[in-house]
Amino acid sequence: MSNARAYLSDGRLFLIQPDGKEQEITSAFVVDLQKRLQSIKERREWKSSGSGAQFARGGLPVGGQYEVDRFNPRFSAGCPAVEDHCLYYAIDAGDVHGIFHYDLVEKRELRLTHGPDRRFSWLAAHPDGEQLAVAIHHADGTGSIGIMNPSKSGGVREITEGDSVDSYPAWVPGDGRSLVFQSSGVARRNGDWAGLGPASIQMLNLDTGAIDSLVEDPNSDFLCPSYGKDGMMYFIQRPYESAVRSKPLDSLKDIVFFPFRLVRALFAFLNVFSVFFSGKPLKTAGGPKRLGPDPKAVFLYGRWLHLQQATAPGQADEPSSKVPSSWVLKRLTPGSPLAEAEVVATGVMAYAVAHDGSVFYSTGNHVFQWEKNSSPQRVSKLSFVTCLIVR
């Protein structure tokens, strides 16, 4: 994919050819798993109807739906491989989560690791091809960074831990022995989960285990760090919103409504991870399961986000974003103060830096390409792109 790009749009993976045409990539693992689930459904239906009914009690699982009817596989992450014609991607397939290597020329998929316990939300391949950095999300709401060797067995080895959500790893140019990543502490109230603290950018030295804070501010989240070929560090900055109230005038309300808010917050939080890990919400009553993102709100970068309208009145021809304009893509010379960061674009949902220095970014409505000293150009109309795979 030396001249091609790939985007994750609404959990689907699309290869963008140089001529701009979009080709959806399907996973052989997912297809095979879906066939097996369909076979299970058909066998159980036979037992619960016709002559087979007398030998079985029912056949439908609890809730009246077969697993295949709730099956909603989604690509969760992706990155270029060292080979020009290959890439890596992660998949959530019901209760199973895996990492795969895919050859775009031969259309061959190789499963590297899979299992039910850990969800993989970000991938970053080392330039030498021998290491793959992985963001891991656990069912208890914490997240860690892991390392794996794609050419060897052994799975993913976790290299960060603690009561935090560590995600979006990226390799630091130079010796190749350091990673930057986004990290948020888990905020707790009386020992119970209450949200996430401000997201900061941390650097981990793999040889010494030392972790240094590069960018942090109690009033801002710093998301998705990465580096350009010129050594500049890129990241998304947005205002931090605390989940824990602290205003004196709200104290009485907090006391009265705390039990209800806590139950609602915990349910919402656990429901997110239930969907992430199993593809099934905790609440199933009230109609069939809706596929795809909620048109009004999604869970993005640790926060519920109410998506904005596609365009503002009177601005039908203007680029617009599904995220607030306060979500700003910036770049900074390492070691420089945050005040010297350069604004690349506003209203950015996701981005990736290409080897030639150009930046591709998603506003949630479209994908744009930015080059220094030039205006952004729209390169794709795909919506809800949350991961861009470029070289």
Whether the model clears a pTM of 0.75, i.e. scores above it, the answer is yes
Percentage of the chain lying above the pLDDT 70 cut: 75
Distance CA(307)–CA(88), nearest Å, equals: 29
Question: Taking the domains of the chain in order of start, what are their residue ranges?
Answer: 78-384
pLDDT value at position 343? 97
Architecture of domain 78-384: 6 Propeller (2.120)
Of 345 and 252, more confident? 345
Give residue-wise pLDDT tens across range 175-200.
789 999 999 998 877 777 778 999 99
Give residue-wise pLDDT tens across range 217-229.
999 999 999 999 8
Give residue-wise pLDDT tens across range 346-389.
999 999 999 999 999 999 999 999 998 899 999 999 999 999 99
Q: How far is the CA of 173 from the CAs of 80, 131, 215, 226, 351, in angstroms?
A: 16, 14, 17, 10, 18
Give residue-wise pLDDT tens across range 241-299.
886 555 555 455 555 555 655 555 555 555 554 544 444 555 544 444 444 444 455 66
State residue 278 phi and psi, 5-degree precision: -120, -10
Average pLDDT estimate for 21-33 = 94
pLDDT level of residue 174 (50, 70, 90 thresholds): confident
